[in-house]
Amino acid sequence: MDGATMFAVLVGLGIAALVFGVTFVLPIVSFSRLQQVTRDIERLRARLDGLEASLRGLAGAAQDAPVVASPPSPVTPMMPVAPALPVAPAVPVAPAPLPVEPRPQPVAAPAAASYAAERAAGGRPEKAASPAVAEDTLETRIGGRWLLYIGTATLVLGIGFFVKYAFDNNWVNETGRVLLGALFGLVMVGGGHRIARRGYPLYGQIVAGGGFVALYIAAYAALNFYGLISRPAAFGLMVVITAAAAWAADLHRSQGLAFFAVVGGFLTPFLVGGTEDAQVVLLTYDAILVAGTVFMAERRSWPHLNIAAYALTALTFVGWAGEHYAPPKWVTTEVFLTVFALMFTGAAFRTRRASAESSDITSFVLFTAPLAYYFASVANLHTQPLALLVFLTFASLAGVVGGVRLDRPWLRFVAFVLVMPVLFVWIGAHTGPGWRLAPAVVFVAIYVMHLVGLGERLSRTQDAWLKLEIVLFHANALALFGGLYTIIDAVAPGYSPALALGLAVWHGALAWLLRKTSEDAALNGVAMAFAMLGFAIGLQFDDWWSVVGWAVESAAVIWVGLKSRRDWMRLGGALLFALTLFNLFMLGFFQTPSGFDPFFNARVGATLVVVAVCFGLAGLHRRFADQYADKATAEIATLWVGGNVLTILLISTEISFYWNIRETTDATADLARMASLSVAWATYGTALVVVGIVRRYAPIRYLAIALLALTIGKVFLIDLYTLGGIYRIIGFIGLGGFLLLGAWLYQKYRAVILGTDR
């Protein structure tokens, strides 16, 4: 079926509905209305009769009531009667008032008053109670309802087929079809208006909505099917139809008609069509529609209208961009993106002030407008390097200002998370000599913004520092270092250690300045200073020393967590320390380096720093053990054992590396390595026994026993079969001697070990 035929069928069905409404529905509605009015009059008459009867009864009761006189004074008959004295004329004395019962109110009077009030307010009176009516049977439902529905549908289809037949035989030309459709729409709009004013609002609004649909179809058909009008004329007609629908929605307080007006208004440009690019006209028209929608939504408390406008605006923008966007249009595109973002964000704030649940949902949806605006702007400006830098700066400023003004720290965090990845990608894509100063200034500006935001809240809340703000404090400093390092290292890598050292000094000074304002802030400043110092050491030397920086940073974070009683910071520091160990092992910890110098190399130095961090953290946990119910027993044991295991690995690898580089010149190097490892393990195990006994610390003694057991297994399972000569003698005698020494220590200090020496 082509477009013209479809339109003909729609107009035919419309005319059929109109004929059916005039010939069948209107008489039925009129008759029903007349019957209702008649029943209302009869009910009023009955109530008036009841009121008159009640009044007559009250009047009769008042007339028949007996008059109670005062009883005469008792007179003694034997007493002589004194002559009468002249007295003043008698004044009639009213009898004592009778107790008057409350005047009975006629039953019909309140109902009549309620009815009159409802009629004055435009409402329908409540129906009087009626006797119970028997429920419909299947027969009455089929005969009284379903036959009516089926007959109505059959009649409408028959009239529609008749109109289509008339169109097919050219009884009505193209202009006539459009005019009939428009006339049908106007009749439905006018009729719906009248019906709604007569007390049937929902019915009338539905009829009027159908009329507006018919008007849209008529205008669309006149343009696209028959070419009777131009595109500007069709656009103007649809705008008028949209305005009329909005006016009707406001007049009848119909949210349904308002939705129809909003959807129809946004669809108008697509219905008119056209292949030319009219960005300014299209988006200006949409901005006017959004403004009108926001106004109507606030005026009538219809917040969901804003969601419809928001979604349709996004679809319009995406549709236009898919067809016509080009990089030279970035300025006008950004202007319209900003206008729409401001309008919908303002609507979100105004909607949020309402207390309804629907308002909360609407404000939540509309508050995604800034997020959509950010991503759309990044996509729009990605070909404009300087403009994108400016936008990222203002986006950060908006996030910080919004977080401060609304006291929502998470806004600052979200702005940081959104801006930083884009900024680092920008640096990676612009490495030319002309792009050094601008990104460096942007990094410093963003760092200062977030630092000021953190400081502003600290000045109001003192020590009430949120977890999110602590994370932002560290991330902000690390982002500044990372960005400036990326820029400087590309042109002057020798200045990178100085950069890290300068930031370490700055954060140390910042901790000093914040020490009286917030202990948390001061402690985190110290942690950041240690981290930057570690970076400076790592950059000055090699990759092994970068491990030093991460180890010191993790220790500082754990120390801050212990000092401020923040378990989540301790956990974060522990994870960072685990990553430090992973990095240590991945740098070639178990591989023999070229040009190896035993014990005096960067690997040994970095590993010893990590071991020292383990023992230092164990001491810190022991110092703050009173904060925890279990006295941090597990953490302390893990750190002590971990530090010693790392030391054993370092000694073992150094011995192995020493003999590995001599394998080419010494045939007995492998045997010497095996014997040396056995002696070293036995020596270290015995030393652990001594430390464990002296410190009265069982986990160290357990580690010693495990290491000695490993050594025994190696000697009897490997060395016994692979070593020979002097190396076997050294291995067995050395192990035996240390085992005897260990056994003697356990016997001598048995009471200390068992804790019975006190």
Rounded to whole angstroms, the Cα distance separating 245 from 334 reads 32
In a shared domain, residues 666 and 707 = yes
Same domain, 626 and 688: no
Which of 621, 640, 659 represents a domain boundary (last residue)? 659
Instruction: Mark whether 606 and 666 lie in a shared domain.
Output: no
Q: Which amino acid is at 701?
A: R
621 in any annotated domain: yes
In tens, the pLDDT along 415-427 reads 999 999 999 999 8
Which of 659, 675, 692 is at the close of a domain?
659
713 and 749 co-located in one domain:
yes
Q: Is residue 20 a part of any domain in this protein?
A: no
* The domain boundary residue, chosen from 635, 659, 683: 659
Task: Give yes or no: residues 613 and 586 share one domain.
Answer: yes
- Looking at the fold, whether 575 and 669 belong to one and the same domain comes out as no
- Residue 617, domain member (yes or no): yes
Given a cut of 70, whether residue 757 has pLDDT beyond it is no
Q: Is residue 574 part of a domain?
A: yes
Residue 272's closest CA among 215, 316, 210, 216?
Answer: 216
Evaluate whether residue 232 is within a structural domain: no
Q: How far apart are CA 313 and CA 365, in angstroms?
A: 14
pLDDT for 570 equals 81
Same-domain status, 645 and 668: no
DSSP 131: -
425-444 pLDDT tens trace: 998 888 767 778 889 999 99
Mean pLDDT, residues 285-314 taken together: 90
pLDDT band at 86 (very low <50, low <70, confident <90, very high): very low
Closest by Cα among 402, 399, 374, 400 to 388:
374
Q: Cα–Cα distance between 83 and 79 in angstroms, integer?
A: 13
Tens digits of per-residue pLDDT, 468-517?
A: 888 899 899 999 999 998 888 888 888 888 898 999 999 989 988 887 77
What is residue 99's DSSP assignment? P
Each residue's pLDDT tens digit, 532-546: 887 787 677 667 777
The verdict on 560 and 655 lying in the same domain is yes
The yes-or-no verdict on residue 76 having pLDDT over 70 is no
Provide the domain limits for residue 691: 662-758
pLDDT at 92: 44
- Gap between the terminal Cα atoms of the chain: 105
Is the same domain home to 667 and 686? yes
Of 381 and 226, more confident: 381
Count the neighbouring beta carbons within 10 Å of the beta carbon of residue 628: 15
Residue 629 lies in a domain: yes
Total domain count, the chain? 2
Q: Per-residue pLDDT tens for 191-231?
A: 878 877 877 776 667 777 777 777 877 777 777 776 777 87
pLDDT at residue number 171: 66
Kindly tell me if the per-residue pLDDT of 375 is higher than 90. yes
Q: What is the pLDDT of residues 3-62, one digit of tens each?
A: 555 555 555 555 555 544 544 444 444 545 555 666 677 777 777 777 777 777 676 665
Helices of type H across 406-466? 409-429, 437-461
In this model, does residue 143 exceed pLDDT 60? no
Note whether residue 758 is domain-resident. yes
Per-residue pLDDT, 135? 56
Is 731 within 8 Å of 680 (Cβ atoms)?
no
Do 655 and 732 lie in one domain? The reply is no
474 near 530, Cβ under 8 Å? no
Give the model's pLDDT for residue 186: 84
pLDDT of 114 reads: 43
Residue 468 lies in a domain: no
Q: 537: part of which helix (H) or strand (E)?
A: helix 519-540
107-116 residue pLDDT tens = 444 443 443 4
101-110, 171-180, 280-289, 604-613: range with lowest mean pLDDT: 101-110
Q: What is the DSSP string of 289-303?
A: HHHHHHHHHHHHT-T
Both tokens of 638, joined, read: 């893990």
Q: CA–CA separation, 187 vs 193, rounded Å? A: 10
- Same domain for 677 and 645, yes or no, is no
Q: Is the same domain home to 647 and 669?
A: no
